[in-house]
Amino acid sequence: MEFKKRTRIITVKEFRTKFSTDEDCLKHLVELRWPNGFVCPKCYNQEFHWQAGKDIYWCKTCKYQVSVTAGTVFHSTNLRLPGWFWAIYRMAQDKKGFSAMQLMKEIDVSYPTAWFMLHKIRCAMEERDKQYRLKGRIELDDAYLGGESKGKRGRGAEGKVPILVAVEKRQTRDGTTPGYVAIRIVESLSSTLVKDFLDSKIVLGSTIETDGLSVYGVIDRLDFVHEAYVTENGSKAKELFPWVHLVIGNLKRFILGTHHHADPKYLRFYVSEYCYRLNRRFHEDDLFEHLMKACLLVSPRKHNILGY
């Protein structure tokens, strides 16, 4: 059997050398967007004029003008591309997450600018992760995100955000291992929202393991195999659903450890970052390139980040 040779992770020194100027970064964007040469998105012609200074392709046939950064995370930015590339590199390589405060210091921008840059990148992560659908045997559970507070904990806690978490449970020779992960923030734990989550993220016919919470009863009416277990007031939950609890625990540490506090209004983007990196944990060597391509395929203007 022939194995694919792993790509070596680019070092910080190599990265700084390779993407030190706007010209270096622009050339890389062109190679990613049009690996086989420019093609007009309107008439599919490949003959063009290059308008230097504005970074625009001008189609010779239909005269359509295409900016290299149009419709991407970099669209209409006033920041230099090396700063953007550095932010993407740091987001791709730092397993524990990367804060706006760190980016502010490293590329010398204001905190609001750094914050907005990182949320644009998280928006691209969210869009790319929508392609993943879990299948096979799935552990499904719910949890609550939010800082430490007095009063009731877990289900029914006040001031916290409920989430649904699904993790593939793949069989190996030595037991099981986690596969792809899906997490969704929900308004409340209801049968309707559980159904919506399953319909969009899990392949029909999969086997779904849950505890005995009543809202999971909706699974019995869908085209899934449902296995519900008694957790004895939660005491056996970690034993029965080890991978989903591991994912939930790591998510909470990621948010509290790196970002300390995440405004519920924008919590969805931090969850998207966590899922994106977790679902590509076996591609760390070329994760920067994966994330660069994601940033070229989504326009955050459509997502209205500030108005979410």
Tell me, yes or no, whether 221 lies in a domain: yes
pTM of the entire predicted model? 0.85
Angle between helices 100-107 and 81-93 (to 10 degrees): 140
Q: Are 184 and 166 in contact (CB under 8 A)?
A: no
Average pLDDT over residues 111-119: 93
Could you read off the pLDDT of 276-305 as tens digits, one per residue? Answer: 999 998 887 889 999 999 999 876 555 555
pLDDT over threshold 70, residue 2: no
Say if 114 falls within a structural domain.
no
Residue 6 lies in a domain: no
Residue 141 lies in a domain: yes
Task: Answer whether residue 209 is part of any domain.
Answer: yes
Residue range(s) defining the domain that contains residue 210? 137-265
Residue 144 falls inside a structural domain: yes
* DSSP secondary structure letters along 52-81: TTTTEEEETTT--EEETTTTSTTTT--S-H
Q: Does 78 score more than 90 pLDDT? A: no
287 within a domain of the structure (yes/no): no
pLDDT score for 263: 73
Total domains present in the chain: 1
| pLDDT tens digits along 43-77 | 898 888 887 777 888 888 998 888 888 888 998 88
Among residues 239, 204, 235, the alpha carbon closest in space to that of 219 is found at: 204
Q: What is the CATH number of the domain that holds 203?
A: 3.30.420.10
Tens of pLDDT, residues 195-216: 999 999 999 999 999 999 999 9
Q: In what order do the strands lie in the sheet with 56-59?
A: 48-51, 56-59, 65-67
Q: For 27-45, how does the pLDDT look when each residue is reduced to its tens digit (9 = 90+)? A: 999 999 998 888 888 889 8
How does pLDDT run across 226-235, given as a tens digit for each residue? Answer: 999 987 666 6
Nearest to 266 by CA among 253, 255, 281, 277: 255
Cα–Cα dist 134/295, whole Å: 24
Mean pLDDT of the chain: 86
